[in-house]
Amino acid sequence: MTKIQKQKLFFWLVIGLVILVLVGNKNFWRLLKAYRERASLQLQIRKLDAENKALQKKIYNLEHNDQEIEKIAREELGMTKPGEIEYRVKKQVKK
């Protein structure tokens, strides 16, 4: 066998082993699936961390900022201060 024939044989043996590992090895595919799932979970964790920080900031503002509570009471609950008069304007519906 010549040197070139030996190199070709080695090349095809390596290709064959790679194909055998990729096709026949279920653990490789499980590992790949687990890697993808891990990446997806890490993304979800980052999103939840950002949401958690926003909620912590909102809690802090509600605990330490009376103006924030007043704003929510007025906008979301429709409350007014004692002595204030609330005016509501109805939109006319065109016929």
Q: What is the domain range of residue 45? A: 3-75
Residue 53 belongs to a domain: yes
Distances (CA, A) of 53 to 44, 67, 88: 14, 21, 37
Write out 76-89 in H/E/C secondary structure: CCCCCCCCCCCCCC
Domains: count for the chain: 1
The pTM (predicted TM-score) of the whole model is 0.53
* Residue 19, pLDDT score: 80
Residue 61 belongs to a domain: yes
What contacts 68, CB < 8 A, 6 or more positions away? 61, 62
Q: What digits encode the pLDDT tens for the residues 15-68?
A: 888 887 777 767 777 888 999 999 999 999 999 999 999 999 999 998 998 898
